[in-house]
Amino acid sequence: MKLSIVVPCYNEEESIPYFYKEIKKVIKIMDVELELLLVNDGSSDKTLDVIKSLADDSSVKYIS
């Protein structure tokens, strides 16, 4: 089974790595395939840079 999660992100550079780490833990327990779509909603901080770095994981996609 595949689980898709869409997350709007606005000035969340500090919290996104924690969210990602925790969601990966939960997904492992659930034994499902993850599709995580992070949507940068016009952030003025480094949110987009953080999101892009997470996109190295093939389950993570982003829109800005």
pLDDT 10s digits, 3-61: 999 999 999 999 999 999 999 999 999 989 999 999 999 999 999 999 999 999 999 99
Indicate the pTM of the whole model: 0.91
Check residue 15 and report its DSSP letter.
Answer: T
Pair 9, 41: CB distance under 8 Å: yes
Tokens 């969210």, residue? 19
15 Cβ contact list (under 8 Å, min separation 6)? none
The beta strand positions in 15-63, using DSSP E, are: 33-40, 60-63
